[in-house]
Structure 1
């Protein structure tokens, strides 16, 4: 299982995203040490990686929160119960991981 966090330089949510992903992966019974982090550094890399903003959470190369937006070097927002946020909720991230692992 490949867990990867994709961010851009100076992402304001990068550190919190790493901690959130570590927690979610661990709660789903996986070793959080398996999480790789990669910084997206160009529009071309965003395009080839299917990167829709920072932070992006992937399992086996698949974005856990599919987006219809164009790939871009930008910040990303997630829908949460409290409105739009720079991070998904722990529960929605866990559900996305569960769905990906079951696929």
Structure 2
């Protein structure tokens, strides 16, 4: 499983997203799972990578929270949470998304490797 956390330099929500993702990975049985931080530096890079805002979390290339619009650029991303809009998903939302991702991988016959 490859996990990427995409961001732009100066993102005010990067550390919150990283901390919550680390906690969620532990809760789903993946403590110590590596997370590749990837800076998106230019608007051209954002367009090429279909970067919908910072922070974006992808597992095996797929956005854990697929956006409803195909708008790409160096912008802050907003997530709908139970407490309203926020700059990062909650730990609970991440646990749900990661668990769903594992279930989908098992359904299509992909082997999910626990680390």
State the TM bucket, normalised to the shorter chain.
over 0.9
- Where does residue 6 of structure 1 map in the other structure? 6
Larger-Rg structure:
2
State the Cα deviation string for residues 12-63 of structure 1 (Å, max 9, x = none): 0111111111111111111334111011101121122221000001100111
Counterpart contact for 2:7–2:40, Cα < 8 Å: yes
Segments of 4+ moved more than 4 angstroms? none
SS at match of 2:51: coil
Distance in 1 (CA, whole Å) between partners of 2:27 and 2:45 is 31
Q: Alpha carbons of 1:74 and 1:92: their partners in 2 closer, same or farther (altered >3 Å)? A: same
Q: Which has the higher strand share?
A: 1
Distance in 2 (CA, whole Å) between partners of 1:32 and 1:44 is 33
Distance in 2 (CA, whole Å) between partners of 1:31 and 1:48 is 31
- Listed as ranges, the gaps of 5+ residues in structure 2 are 105-115
Q: After TM superposition, list the pairs within 5 Å mapping 1:17-56 onto structure 2.
A: 17-56=17-56
SS at match of 2:36: strand
Counterpart contact for 1:23–1:32, Cα < 8 Å: no
Q: After TM superposition, list the pairs within 5 Å mapping 1:56-67 onto structure 2.
A: 56-67=56-67
Cα shift at 1:71: 1.2
Distance in 2 (CA, whole Å) between partners of 1:23 and 1:95 is 13
SS at match of 2:24: helix
- Where does residue 71 of structure 1 map in the other structure? 72
Distance in 1 (CA, whole Å) between partners of 2:6 and 2:32 is 15
